[in-house]
Chain A
């Protein structure tokens, strides 16, 4: 796998869909590609948020700490972006991510990501758009819940 394939994966993420190829290349180039073996954690709930991860290959579980132990709440597959909210809001990790199998991910460093946001309004706008979309969806869900 090369930078080009990583750029292809980034393009699949809604947040990055409309960004210039050159910028995506920069994002990929300044990130690290890391391999996790099955059961290895990307990060644990409560850790400081220092990076976002894009799963390139393999899959990962999303785990939540509960009084009754960790429970799996979701499964992440290829091209899933995880941990991006934490690096934007500076809040600690809200869940644990654990590789389900041999998994390759692109680790986007928080500092580098914020530098890129500050440098390129286009990326910042794309992120805002994505966040606004998500908010809208949440609102819609709330409305739906209220109705039911």
Chain B
């Protein structure tokens, strides 16, 4: 980005700036007219100056102009005007006034919108170029750059800059114009007084900025301090576990408190100085009239200046301060923004970024195979210790190379060098003629994959994460771009943003050997299966929701599976395992709410506690005559809960796991019970009591609240509830239907179409087995796994365990079939036997491509073509006998892997 803010603004927005400036100037005559009209209305229409010689009519809208005598003195007669009476003139002028007000308003509206849009566009451009620079941070810079600080810069710090951009040129031009007019007027009246005013302004413009220099320094400090505060808060939040483990809450509080004091102190200093400057500024501004009175009055007394002139000068001077003041304010804002801009630019200093030309896509793009030679590789740790000392080696790619670590960082460093992830080393490493360190990022990204210790997953589904490595470029834009899309593209062009839409298909199916999304899913499932994640995927699938919109035929097959399961559960010994949903029977394994709705809510108003507050649901209960009894049940539940959970501290796991009532609500419910006993129960109390039985499951909670008679009534109420909800517009509840899939319900529920019994021992496992058998028979396992690909991994993949994360990371690397796969600690979460098996698997899966793998011991290195050993910074390579044969006969791979596994 440009070092100077103004140059940056001017390069990217001069057209808009000039346009707005032009409109501002064009609006001025109308503005002055509207200022002049009130005078005309008073003088000519109301006081009747236009009718002074006994005229009954006066011209309205007369446009006759007298040219000055040096132009010939001709009269330009455009329009003689309408002859109107006094009332007519009054109404006419007033209407004219209204017209000008409207015109001015319209101008103002357009200018404000244009200025706003201009600012926002520049802000968008600036944010985007900053984000592009984020992607270009060098690995060294990334060690010191804090993510939260960078986020603060892009989000908050550039915001005021954007607000200022609309005013950057227009305001000084406009205000300067006004000030100069007033000044010229004074000069015309009296040169000396004019010069005096100029002198005072000159003083103002030299002294004030000097005073502000300190202010700028403080502003800079404030910005850095608040940025650090944001960074620190994020650090604490990221490491909150450590804070709790070591009981460092007080220390952290003190630390933040200290920072807040620092911020306060800087702010206070800023205020002191700012208002001091303001005071001085006002004083200087008032100094000028003082001088006018004294000096001008002196001249007037001496008779060298007539009184009229003096009064005119003083009057004109009144016009001068407002624009001047605004100009000074603008200047203040400019400095402020300039400081911010400088700070931002500094954060993204060029030396912290990878040069642009390296980022750009390279033309030459050949497979990374051939002789790999490394010469004089030296790597040092940050303290100057040697990690790799003048190492040289060579190998012919493709090859499976095991980097056997000696416990130091050497093997991992070499792996990172090959992956282009360790820029600070000396020496040469090349494949054929190509220097590995000079490979453009695009090529590295496409032809290499590096799986490190700490897999990064983005929030989204497993599929989203696996696809991530295949999203290099959009496959082609939508043919039917609508108007909204055209607008988006034109805005993107105007602001230097990318025109590609994320709505396009970015996935490069062909590169992985798939023709569409479904086949790609198949490839994912195959890979995950081999890496040992198929069971997890299957479980995720059962908990997931089927996407019937893209696969309508799936519904039929799922219904078939449901039917088969139903039959399976009729068999002896299985009867009690699942209680099926039946429109005419109460389901003892489901909550009362589920039994009443007989479906799955799709709108939040029908979920959990919201249900008891929902007026439609409530009215249905009213009509079914259930409210009274359910509320009584609520009372009983509340009594039992307050009794048995009394004395358990809030936040205790027992609460979270078992109680109907949150720990913080216990007191509320005690109060409700007391009110109830004294007969003062409120409507809100009733709602809260009603919410309790809705979550009640007789077989699980066993409070003995439901008898058969009441169950029958609950089942009868289903019809009323359904009628009520179906009469509503919009989504409410998706009702169960034995012949249809219920989309919002998890797949498991859809297959069972019932609930697993709480009472039967080992029911979960036996049901799971039955489900899995049926799914296998019907060939539905892959479909379930495909649904499992939609499982949300959570922020940084936290909803997965470390092994699942590592597996997904590996599959993400494998699926793009890189020429070189580098595995450096990615298997750390697995135990030794799994690691052995996975190594064999990886060797097999890379087929005829290259694999570099950091290994922790010799036994892991069996299946590799080349073993690279590290000792005291030196590298030795040993080629296994097989490697030469294997290049010829890749079929050996499988056999080899079999041995290792």
Give residues in A with beta carbon < 8 Å to B. 1-4, 6, 22-23, 25-26, 28-30, 32-37, 40, 42, 104, 112, 115-116, 119-120
Contact = CB atoms under 8 A, between A and B. Distances in A.
A34 B759 contact: yes
B761 interface: yes
B645 interface: yes
Nearest to B698: A2
A3 B762 CA distance: 21
B702, B704, B762 — most chain A CB neighbours (10 Å): B702
Contact of B654 (A22, A34, A37, A112): A112
A40 B762 contact: yes
Interface in B686-710: 699-704
Given A30-B654, A112-B657, A115-B652, 12 more contacts: A2-B702, A4-B704, A22-B644, A26-B644, A29-B658, A29-B702, A30-B658, A35-B761, A37-B573, A116-B654, A119-B648, A119-B654
Contact of B761 (A2, A3, A34, A115): A34
6 contacts: A2-B704, A3-B702, A28-B702, A30-B654, A37-B573, A115-B652
Given A25-B643, A26-B645, A115-B652, A35 B760 contact: yes
A29 B703 CA distance: 9
A25 B640 contact: yes
Nearest to B757: A35
Interface of B: 573, 576, 640, 643-649, 652-654, 657-658, 699-704, 758-762
A29 B701 contact: yes
A17 B573 CA distance: 37
A40 B761 contact: yes
Which A-B residue pairs are the 5 nearest by beta carbons? Answer: A2-B704, A26-B644, A34-B761, A25-B644, A36-B761
Contacts, number: 62
Contacts of A29: 640, 644, 658, 701-702
Contacts of A34: 759-761
Contacts of A40: 761-762
Contacts of A32: 700, 758
A18 B296 CA distance: 106
B217 to A, nearest CB: 58
Contacts of B699: 33
Contact of B703 (A2, A23, A112, A115): A2
A2 B703 CA distance: 6
A109 to B, nearest CB: 9
Contacts of A2: 702-704
Nearest to B703: A3
Nearest to B641: A29
A40 B766 CA distance: 13
Contact of B652 (A33, A104, A119): A119
Nearest to A112: B654
B706 to A, nearest CB: 10
Contacts of B658: 29-30
Given A22-B644, A22-B646, A115-B654, A1 B760 contact: no
A33 B759 contact: yes
Contacts of B644: 22-23, 25-26, 29
Nearest to A104: B759
A33 B702 contact: yes
Contacts of A115: 652-654
Given A22-B644, A25-B643, A35-B576, A6 B702 contact: yes
A92 B648 CA distance: 30
Contacts of B762: 40
B702 to A, nearest CB: 5
Nearest to B573: A37
Contacts of A1: 702
B644, B654, B700, B701 — most chain A CB neighbours (10 Å): B644
Nearest to A116: B654
Nearest to B645: A26
A115 B653 CA distance: 8
Nearest to B699: A33
A119 B645 CA distance: 11
A148 B704 CA distance: 54
Contacts of B647: 119-120
A23 B657 CA distance: 16
B701 A22 contact: no
A107 to B, nearest CB: 8
Nearest to B646: A22
